[in-house]
Structure 1
Amino acid sequence: MVEYIPPSKEDWSGRISGELLYLHEKVKCQSVDELSSLNNSFALLGYCCDEGVRRNQGRVGSINGPEAIRVALGKMPNHLDNKTHFFDVGDVVCSNQNMEKAQNLLSQKTAFLLKQGSFPILLGGGHDMAYGHFNGVKQHLGNNKKIGIINFDAHFDLRDNAKGNNSGTPFYQIAQENSEFHYLCLGIRKDANDQSLFGTAKRLDVDYVMRDKFCTRFQNEINAQLNAFINKVDKVYVTIDLDGFSSAYTPGVSAPSPMGFSPDVVLESLTTILQTGKLISLDIAEMNPKYDLDGQTAKLAASLVHYVLHHYS
């Protein structure tokens, strides 16, 4: 039974410069457990699982998302300095539809990466990865630190898990298991969340920005809300669900919609978050290459990773 797969250099290819001009030349493939203490480093960890999407009656295929993002990212230019390390540390894999076991393993690997001083960037995979990712951050920080979750998404993902966990329940699970719940959603749509979910968000005191206000025209207001939220917490975990973008940008997702947001407002918001110095980790969810067009979604996901790599400090 395979639940963790070490990285493979076969996922990384592109132009050959011989001068580390491209990320496929910069990246080092190394198993998670072989990493020693490394500050000033980034570690890509895949979550190969779409079991949560299947349980949530969505379109499966995101199990292959991490590979597609790596392939697109490797071809992009490298602007990292020689002192910055960039690792691919492999994939957590969901076997025998045991999503919960995959989430637990993801938590352990995330906590280990943070302990080594690396900045984890997780690639999905269904949005159920957020439950495992958050718990890894919590395991590393301990119970006395306030963790703020910022979710770029059309959906709250606050579905009740009384009938089981899936890709729509991760933040509800987190809320139920923690005495404090700090959660901000950017890009929420009424056509993507029923009345009960808005009710749950109100009961849990969730902060959110509706899609019609989540655009660069309102960036000053968005930044003010971001800073007010971040000032209340010790560290920030960011999760980007690709189905929050308009399907004009991301056709390769489990739940596409033309009514989503644009990349510009996400990049501007990420800049604001990065400037606070509180970002501890990030993931990108719901990359579904089965429905992608000309690798467009994978390229956007890779560009988001590229942006964080080169603007994190």
Structure 2
Amino acid sequence: MKSYPYPFLNPPSFKWNKGVDIIEPKVHEWIQTIEYNEEVDWKKVDAAIVGIPLSRSSISASAASENPDAIRRAWKFFYPYNIDYDIDLTSLNIVDIGDVKQHVTNISICHQNIMAAMEMMRKTHPNVLPLAVGGDHSITAMLVKGWKNVHAHEEVGILQFDTHFDLRDLRSDGPSNGTPIRNLIESKVIKGENVYNIGLHGFFNAKSLKSYATEVGVNYVTLKQARAYGIEQTVQRALDELNKKVDTIYVTVDMDVLDMGIAPGAPASSPGGMRTDELFEAVCRAGKAKKVKAMDIVCLDPTKDFADATVKAGVHVMLSFLTGFKQRNDER
């Protein structure tokens, strides 16, 4: 009996009732699922969506664990066609492989399972792009560690869209949603100089974290600076610099990078954050980069959302990234 993706992972908790002979599918009719004992030709799959329903490691109370299913339920509102670019995504073969198993009380076991899931994905289908839907930001450290465990000789860089550095001290905050980047740096999985953070703003980072970022060489661009230079140009410059230094670029999108008026479902969103159009263009540009090989979307709590505004923004982020990914594939 095969063990991957099931029972190694949990299948999606629900599946859409898909119609037949649909000429113009919506996203929920386009993204595929896998039957329990189905054999999959992974060579024909472009990207695998994996849910990571973990929020126990959040510094503040969060139900980000509910986000993977909230994102899935919102697919019905979208078509896989981007009118801004006149790009139809349906030629991409996207599979929802379900959720990483989580322990009821033990965060360490949850994190081990997340690492193991990335390891299994890289071993089973190394040419399929992992697209993780969290969950809180602690999952990023575990996913990157899992990647590095399989690709030990690769240099990995991080392109981070975030209001925060996420460089809090592990001695006081542990492997939480406030420490993933520091966790990766101090465990020597990545180098500080290979981290590019775009979106910092306002009064939401302690000065000591800026000092630590400078000390370890983290590259950061405040939102004010990025807007002055141009969001897309700022992202492209980060990608160009990373391209010279690393083998793999991992993109992590913390939804609290958005303004709190736009993203009420991101618990740590704040005044003065990004607009959705800026984030959509940023991740589209990232998706086009050849060395971008994995992505996650984190820190979205659907129980705090209003009219699904943040959840829908999260789906839009995913589809915008896939728009860039489609452009990349078309240029091969």
TM-score (norm 2): 0.84
Matched, 1:130 2:143: no
8 A contact 1:14–1:74 mirrored in 2: no
Written as runs of structure 1 = structure 2, the 5 A alignment for 1:39-188 is: 39-53=44-58, 56=59, 58-78=60-80, 79-82=88-91, 84-115=92-123, 116=125, 117-142=127-152, 144-163=153-172, 164-178=174-188, 180-181=190-191, 182-188=194-200
Mapped partners of 1:192, 1:16: distance in 2: 49
1:242 matched to 2:255: yes
Write the deviation string for residues 279-312 of structure 1: whole angstroms up to 9, x where unpaired: 1000000110111010000000001111222320
Residue 24 (structure 1) aligns with: 28
Count, aligned residues: 306
Aligned-residue RMSD, C-alpha: 2.5
Instruction: Specify the alignment match of 2:265 in structure 1.
Output: 252
Structure 2 vs 1, CA of residues 180 and 77 (structure 1 numbering), >3 Å: closer, same or farther?
A: closer
- Kindly indicate whether residue 225 of structure 2 is the aligned counterpart of residue 213 of structure 1: yes
Unaligned 5+ residue runs, structure 1?
A: none
Runs of at least 5 residues in structure 2 that lack an aligned partner in the other structure: 1-6, 81-87
| In 2, Cα distance between equivalents of 1:254 and 1:48 | 16
Larger relative contact order (C-alpha < 8 A, sep ≥ 6)? 1
Q: Distance in 1 between matches of 2:168 and 2:8?
A: 27
Contact 1:28-1:86 within 8 A present in 2 as well = yes
For the residues of structure 1 that align with 2:13 and 2:241, how far apart are their CA atoms? Answer: 41
Instruction: Decide whether the 8 Å contact of 1:187 with 1:244 is kept in 2.
Output: yes
Q: Are 2:302 and 2:311, in contact at CA under 8 Å, matched by a contact in 1?
A: yes
Kept after mapping to 2: 8 A contact 1:13/1:71: no
- Asked if structure 2 preserves the Cα contact closer than 8 Å seen for 1:66 and 1:287, the reply is no
C-alpha distance in 2, partners of 1:13/1:180? 42
CA offsets 1:58-87 (integer angstroms, 9 cap, x no match):
1311110111111112432133345x3211
Q: Percent of counterpart pairs with the same letter? A: 24
2: CA distance between counterparts of 1:91 and 1:211? 33
